[in-house]
Amino acid sequence: MWTWLHKLGSPKIFYNLANRLIPWFGWGALLLMLYGLYGGLVQAPADYQQGDSFRIMYIHVPAAWMSLFIYMVIAFCSAVYLIWKITLADIIARASAPIGASFTFLALVTGSLWGKPMWGTYWIWDARLTSELLLLFIYLGYMGLGSAIEDRRVAARACALLAIVCVVIIPIIHYSVTWWNTLHQGSSVSVMNQSSIDKSMLVPLLVMAFAFKFYYVAVVLVRARTDLLFQERKTNWVRKVLVNG
């Protein structure tokens, strides 16, 4: 396995693999999203308490999940970069940050729209909402730090340290509804136990979650591939890629 991972760290091998995977994940994301939206917005019945306003969860919940998932990817890649000095890990981390920030912003906006009919206000300094907002600031800080330092190696190390230190925000967000008195409802979807949401509502939600993950993989591969070509622009394999189109 380690040999395979070492080979994957090769810029040329990663570039060729990314070219093959991007169309699969891109089209997969589109098809899954269409099916998930149709199942959630059309087929799923209205909630007995929230009515049709609950349907925003098919965007809000997967976006919130992705905001945490992508940050974990960044933290993992940051650790890989600091330990093994694999440049590709830093490229993946930095390519992931804007996508993670976008999902976090989307989760906050849709959460506010959901909160208005449920809580009577667009925003309240709830533990879950506040910690998710803090995550957005961490994403922005991570990107700002990387842009502020001209030396790429110094910037990569600084960003990696920041990502690892701030990973503590993930369990805080996840357990905020348990640790503090919060208006935000608890999790309705469980991996270990039976989910409290009906199957007709759960299936489209899970499909949308996979759609967002496929979308993330496709976009991060596109961004990483572009960054990789720029960093490796003086190498022979990049010259051949540019010449062959």
List, for residues 78-102, the tens digit of each pLDDT value: 999 999 899 999 999 999 999 999 9
Contacts of 38 (CB under 8 A, 6+ apart): 204
Place of tokens 């503090």: 180
- Helices 87-119 & 11-38, crossing angle to 10 degrees? 20
- Sign of the dihedral defined by the CA atoms of residues 180, 184, 189, 194, in that order: positive
Q: Which CATH class is domain 10-244?
A: mainly alpha
Per-residue pLDDT, 158: 98
pLDDT of 28 reads: 98
3-state class (DSSP) for residue 48:
coil
Confidence of residue 117 (pLDDT cuts 50, 70, 90): confident
Backbone angles phi, psi at 123, to 5 degrees: -145, 140
Band the pLDDT of 11: cuts 50, 70, 90.
confident
For residues 166 and 120, the model is more confident at 166
Contact assessment for residue 198 and residue 43, using Cβ atoms and an 8 Å cutoff: no
Residue 6 has pLDDT above 90, yes or no: no
What is the distance, to the nearest Å, from the Cα of residue 42 to the centroid of all Cα atoms in its chain?
26
For the chain, how big is the Rg over CA atoms in Å?
Answer: 20
The pLDDT of 233-241, averaged and rounded, is: 86
Q: In this model, does residue 1 exceed pLDDT 60?
A: no
Mean pLDDT of the chain: 89
pLDDT per residue over 169-223, tens digit each?
999 998 887 776 666 666 666 555 556 688 888 999 999 999 999 999 999 999 9
Each domain of the chain, given as residue ranges in start order, spans 10-244
Distance of alpha carbon 1 from alpha carbon 220, whole angstroms = 23
- Tell me if 114 sits within 8 A of 53, measured CB to CB: yes
Q: Residue 63 and residue 217: Cα distance in Å, rounded? A: 14
- Cα gap 64→11, rounded to integer Å: 31
Q: 182 CB contacts (<8 Å, ≥6 apart)?
A: 126, 127, 128, 176
Count the helices and strands in the chain (H runs, E runs): 9, 0
Those residues with Cβ within 8 angstroms of residue 20's Cβ, 6 or more apart along the chain or in another chain: none
Q: What mean pLDDT do residues 42-55 have?
A: 84
